[in-house]
Amino acid sequence: MKLRKNKNIIPGFGLTFGVTITILSLIVLIPLCSLVVYSAKLSPAEFWHTITRERVLSSYCVSIGTSLVAALVNVVMGLALAWVLVRYEFPGKRFLDGIIELPFALPTAVAGISLTHLTTTNGWVGKIFYELFGVKLAYTPIGITIALIFVGIPFVARSVQPVLEKFDVQYEEAAVILGASKSRIFLTVIFPEIIPALISGFTLAFARGVGEYGSVVFISGNIPYETEIAPLLIMSKLQEFDYAGATSIALALLLLAFVILSANAIFQSVVSKRVSGLA
């Protein structure tokens, strides 16, 4: 009775909700549950031991550290990229706009191989850095970071772009007439508007970086304790048929991703409440 009273006037709720739950269960929830089930084959002590082994811990550090740096770089680069694409007219703009998604479309292994090629001490870019600054790019955490920047840049650019497009010039004009300088307008008027999109782009890029495998394995060199990333450890466990071990490490990664994404979701809802006037 109550349901009928509150019947939504927008049709199709039953159908779309059913499809959503089915797809979500089949593709997301059930595989994730199987992770837990597999890991549960280990006793809590074994589980804890598996995920806190020194080699595993240092792989987490490598993964999280490089992803964090890469996501931060992407925030700056993605913002600049979105800014240029929204604010200015220049020849080749549409082309540039089109190739932003290339890192999504390209098989990550292809990206990994070509980046490795460029950044080894014999490669075009790696050579310059090695000879001028004595810095090795490939087979170091710097190389991993480069690969993760490449993979993550569309996230930030594409989350900020629509926000900037929607941003009304009236706000800037109002600030200009009140005498604000360009940097002040950017920091106090424009920046607060794009922070939610920036953070959302940052979290997506970061979460993707932590889980990234294909583009990183070639460039990282996979030196244990130094450039070995967590997803690679999972792969090697799998190759050793240690499924429980692999899923345990994966479960820890999953928890981390969940925490990052939830933090973002909470932040977004706080901000949107303020703007929609419900706070």
Partner 1 sequence: MSMENKRYYLELRGVNKKYGNFQASRNVNIQIEKGRLVALLGASGSGKTTILRIIAGLESPESGEILIDGKLVNNTPGSERGVGFVFQSYALFRYMTVYDNIAFGLRVKKKPRNYIDDRVHELLKLIDCEGLEKRYPNQLSGGQRQRVAFARALAPNPQLLLLDEPFAAIDAKIRLELRAWLREMITNLQITSIFVTHDQDEAIEVADEIIVMNHGEIEQTGSPRELYSHPQTPFVAQFIGASTPVENYQRFRFFQSLGDDTTAILRPEFVSVFKKGENKKYTESAEEGVVEDVIFRGSNLEIRVRIHGVVLSGNRGINDPVVEIGEKVDVFVYRFLVVDGKKIVRLDNSSLREESIII
Residue selected from 171, 225, 243, 258 as contacting partner 1 according to rule CB under 8 A: 171
Q: To 10 degrees, the CA torsion angle through 39, 44, 46, 47? A: 40
Shortest CB 187 distance to partner 1, Å: 12
Residue selected from 10, 15, 45, 178 as contacting partner 1 according to rule CB under 8 A: 178
Given the complex with partner 1, which of 11 and 277 has the nearer CB atom?
277
Give the E-state strand segments of the chain in sequence order: none
CA distance 175 to 182: 9
Q: Applying CB under 8 A, which part among 38-46, 47-55, 169-177, 217-225 lies near partner 1?
A: 169-177
Given the complex with partner 1, which of 144 and 175 has the nearer CB atom?
175
**Number of alpha carbons in the 13 Å side-chain half-sphere of residue 254:** 16
Is 92 an interacting residue with respect to partner 1 (CB under 8 A)? no
Residue selected from 6, 170, 183, 239 as contacting partner 1 according to rule CB under 8 A: 170
Whole-Å CA distances, 209 to 90, 150, 264, 266: 32, 10, 16, 21
Is 113 an interacting residue with respect to partner 1 (CB under 8 A)? no
Shortest CB 186 distance to partner 1, Å: 13
Given the complex with partner 1, which of 10 and 178 has the nearer CB atom?
178
Shortest CB 83 distance to partner 1, Å: 18
**Cβ-proximal residues to 29 (8 Å cutoff; 6+ apart), any chain:** none
Is 132 an interacting residue with respect to partner 1 (CB under 8 A)? no
CA distance 194 to 167: 9
CA distance 184 to 272: 23
Under rule CB under 8 A, which residues in 183-222 are in contact with partner 1? 184, 188-189, 192-193
**Cβ-proximal residues to 95 (8 Å cutoff; 6+ apart), any chain:** none
Angle at the Cα of 55 from the Cα atoms of 52 and 60, rounded to 5 degrees: 70
> Residues in the site for partner 1, rule: CB under 8 A?
168, 170-171, 173-181, 184, 188-189, 192-193, 274-277, 279
